[in-house]
Copies of this chain bind each other. A is one copy, B any other.
Amino acid sequence: MATLNHQTGIVFGHTPLDVSKATLVVTTDHQSKPVQEVGEDESYTLEVTPTGAKLHAANPLGTLRGLQTFLQLVSVTPDGFAAPAVSIQDQSRFQWRGLMIDVSRHFIPLDVLKRNLDGMEAVKLNVFHWHLSDNEGFRVESKKFPKLQGEGSDGLYYTQEEIRDFIAYARDRGIRIVPEFDMPGHSTAWFVGYPELASGPGPYQLERKWGVFDPAMDPTNEKTYKFLNEFIAEMTKLFPDQYFHIGGDEVNGKEWDSNPKIQEFMKSHNIKNNVELQAYFSQHVQELVVKHGKTPIGWDEILVPGVSTNIVIQSWRGADSLAAAAKQGYRGILSNGYYIDLGWSAARHYAVDPMAGAAANLTPEEKARILGGEATMWSEYVNWENIDSRIWPRTAAIAERYWSPQTVTDIPSMYFRMETESSRLEWLGLTQRSYQRPMVERMAGSAPAAQVDALLALAEALEPVKDYNRESTPGEEPTQLKPLNRMVDTVHPESELSRQFSVAVDQFLASSCKDSAKAAALRAQLTDWAAIDAQVQPLAQRSVLAQNALPASSAFSQAAELALTALDRIGQGLPLPDALKRQQTDAVAAFETQAHQSQLTIPTLSAFQKLIEASGTAGACTSAK
């Protein structure tokens, strides 16, 4: 109801003004489970006719999903808000449709997480996986072991009362909360307060950088398991969900190698290597989780020969690894391909399917073990301010992948729906569009309006470098303490403006360059872009935050200028000589390299290149004249 308020601006929930008007009738067969379960029925039927709308579901969970579909149907008309007449029978393809947020590397406040739960509900996601501890911070209050958050969080953690409230908030939206406490590696934050858990001599400090570090829990010390037993007892009481995530990824084993007592233990217990040692640890922790009534879930590494098939595997390695696990009887969810921190396009994520590849050849019984997937928001480069923009709207496309049939794959139509969802998400209070201008204004300081506008235009057009390339930029040593206030933090992971420009270039070329309206629109856009750098240069002289964007700004405006010239040549029927074409093609490639100095990429570069190609002697367009 609140969602409909925000979408329409109309407040419902009061006595209706006119009860004779078309109404939405909601019926359910029975209550949902006391604690939301994996595989609980989320199907619904929705019928909209001129006299009213009927929504039926087995339980309130299905109702929540159906209501979101109804909301997607509602649009403004000349006479009011209306939904088209439809008859829908709908159910989810996967039962585990998740979003993981890492709150360790950068702490994310609860109000930000809550509005992201609102967003998840809107796109029918049903699992919030809370990555609560890692080397850089331990974010949950433990009453039993208060030094966990006391020494391990810089004071940035959630109280148990806040967590209970958050879980209830999620429950109201049909979202399970799966907590993750990563161990035995990724656990430096535990050791700041409790160094006795670790395999090294200590003392330990919070990591400020990221990556794989040496500290790891001591799997050979009975006290480790005594501690974990009490800790898991406390946390399994706090978190009602059936699943309890124990991490398990990326242990380099160095602390184990250099500890003589551990080496001794391995010898006496016939443990041959660190993989076996981790399996030994994992086995013990899984038993503790089961003892406290929960089902363990962990990353790929916890799948070792002989481990109980009760566990669930979350695969960061890939769909084939997941299919292999399913063959062996393990349930799993896919995260490889859904790492939204890597800056991929929505189209690229959308093309990844948990049932693709080796999974396609599984038996139905094996297929049923593939529960779904999770988008993962690792927080190296996000904070309260830009995290919404790194999650949305791309996660709406991933959510559709998890809910809708595998056959729904059309890309242009996905983008159309995604942008519509993006408006809806902003009405809910998400900031994936509005975050940008205040960040640009901060970079701009007191610059004149024309310069601020140019900086904003730059921010709208460029994207961050993809994958892990930001970390490898010289002089860009990543750390938790480094502010996220520069252009790379401000640009959208996927620029909708640039995507539309590239589509328009394709359409223009497909018309054999005869679509003059399209040509005019491309020219106007390129003219704007070519003019950006002249404004950004003086601005950046006065602002340390904008300076870093200069290489990209200069590269982008020059590249746009080249594309503009190409467009002009096409228009005038003046073919570009081969030598010049080669030269410009090289220049375009160099511009991309130059943009990388700003940790940025120019997403329209291949569209620019296409225009240059088309303007060449052999080009489809000019040669036709």
Contacts and interface: CB of A to CB of B under 8 A. Distances in A.
Interface of A: 6-11, 13-15, 17, 75-81, 106, 111, 154-156, 208, 383, 385, 420, 423, 426-427, 431, 433-434, 437-439, 441-443, 445-446, 480-481, 483-485, 489, 541-545, 547
Contacts of A544: 76-81
17 contacts: A9-B383, A9-B385, A9-B545, A13-B155, A13-B156, A14-B480, A75-B445, A76-B442, A76-B445, A76-B544, A77-B445, A77-B542, A77-B544, A111-B111, A423-B441, A433-B438, A434-B434
Given A11-B383, A75-B445, A423-B438, A17 B80 contact: no
Contacts of A75: 445-446
Q: With a 10 A CB-CB cut-off, give which of A420, A438, A485, A544 has the most chain B CB atoms.
A: A438
Nearest to A107: B11
A17 B545 CA distance: 18
Given A6-B385, A75-B445, A76-B544, 6 more contacts: A9-B489, A14-B480, A17-B481, A76-B545, A426-B441, A433-B438
Copies in the complex: 2
A178 B111 CA distance: 25
A6 B431 CA distance: 15
Nearest to A112: B429
A245 to B, nearest CB: 26
A415 to B, nearest CB: 14
A11 B483 contact: yes
A483 B434 contact: no
A427 B438 contact: yes
Given A446-B75, A483-B8, A543-B78, A13 B433 contact: no
Closest 6 CB pairs of A and B: A9-B485, A434-B434, A10-B483, A76-B445, A426-B438, A76-B543
Nearest to A156: B13
Contacts of A6: 385
A9 B490 CA distance: 11
Contacts of A427: 438, 442
A7 B433 contact: no
Contacts of A446: 75, 420
Given A76-B543, A543-B76, A544-B76, A433 B437 contact: yes
A480 B547 CA distance: 50
Contacts of A7: 442
A442 B543 CA distance: 36
Contacts of A431: 434
A154 B13 contact: yes
Nearest to A16: B481
Nearest to A443: B76
A157 to B, nearest CB: 13
Contact of A484 (B9, B17, B434, B545): B9
B9 A547 contact: no
Contacts of A434: 431, 434, 437-438
Nearest to A383: B11
B155 A485 contact: no
Given A79-B544, A543-B76, A442 B485 contact: no
Q: With a 10 A CB-CB cut-off, give which of A9, A433, A442, A445 has the most chain B CB atoms.
A: A9
Contacts of A111: 111
Contacts of A156: 13
Nearest to A82: B544
A434 B8 CA distance: 17
A423 B440 CA distance: 10
A477 B551 CA distance: 57
A172 to B, nearest CB: 14
